[in-house]
Structure 1
Amino acid sequence: MEVDSLFQVGDNIVYPMQGVGVIQAVEEKEILGKKELYFIISFPVNDMQLMIPESKISTSGIRSVAGSPALDEVLNIFKNGERDTSLSWKQRYKTNMDKMRTGELLEGAEVVRDLMLVSREKALNPSEKQMLEKARKYLLSELRFIKGISKNQAAELLNAAL
């Protein structure tokens, strides 16, 4: 079933702060007396399912899974990017959270790179440690789809790039 020119049932998508998901269905639902089409999206990485109304798809930040050229950009970010060492941990946390909320692959890659580099110098505080785990999980899930590789292979690819 094609509802939106961008997304169809079976498409792999990325939803900010949730990672890679699959559009399982598009169903008409009545919620609070209003009938609307809803995209039913499952997220294997979080073992959860979301319903997003069609009217919110364009503003939700949902995007298609990136292609292979984006992977080269991610690896370049890991090899050649530099982090801002002048930020306090609070400023760094806010900046990184803003990047994660975009759902963009390159922004997420910067968060992972920066926090991994910080963690090599000193222990991350619990909030940043949790953020690194989530950002890394979402980045790995997308890399797996881009390359068609296992979770372990994706992790090795990232680790080798740093």
Structure 2
Amino acid sequence: MNICILYYDGFCEFEVVISAIQFKDNYFTVALEDKVYISEEKQKFLPDRIIDQLNPEEVDLLIIPGGNPSYLYENLKLKEFIKQIDKKNKYIAGICAGTYLMASYGLLKNKRCTGGSSGVDITREDMSIFNDSIVVQEDVVMDGNMITATGQSFVEFAFELGKLMNVYENDEEAIVDYNWFKNIK
């Protein structure tokens, strides 16, 4: 399984760190350039690969963290790369504002989805990118090969992705890990 986490300047690291823990040695990071990326939390990250070095067919799941990806809405290289992953019917998962990037690329057209910190507020003027989407107020939503989540549900997001990619041998194993992260006794 090839799980890929996208880095960009200002990405929200905490929203994908549990996903990274879930996939351990089965994930890598990718970005547009081979440079240091500074997260929303002001931590520095160096990607494993750049998009030019990666065949979209090699990606089983692309994870797009939140943060502020609006400067990438018009990035044709990233858009084409992600669209190629979609054409292969591979999974694309976005959390918080990562879903905004997905919507801006047309990936959520006619799809059930969620996003933002605690849900997409379609009454906001800048949310017209969701006009063709079916926005629902749920923590994590899967519609076809698209997975979207609110930023506040980063633990649930990670576990849904883990189940999707068969990280767990059974539901009980997933529940034990989930309960540990949520401090449920």
Q: TM-score, normalised by structure 1?
A: 0.28
Higher relative contact order (CA 8 A, sep 6+): 1
Largest Rg, 1 or 2: 1
Higher helix share: 1
TM-score normalised according to structure 2 size: 0.26
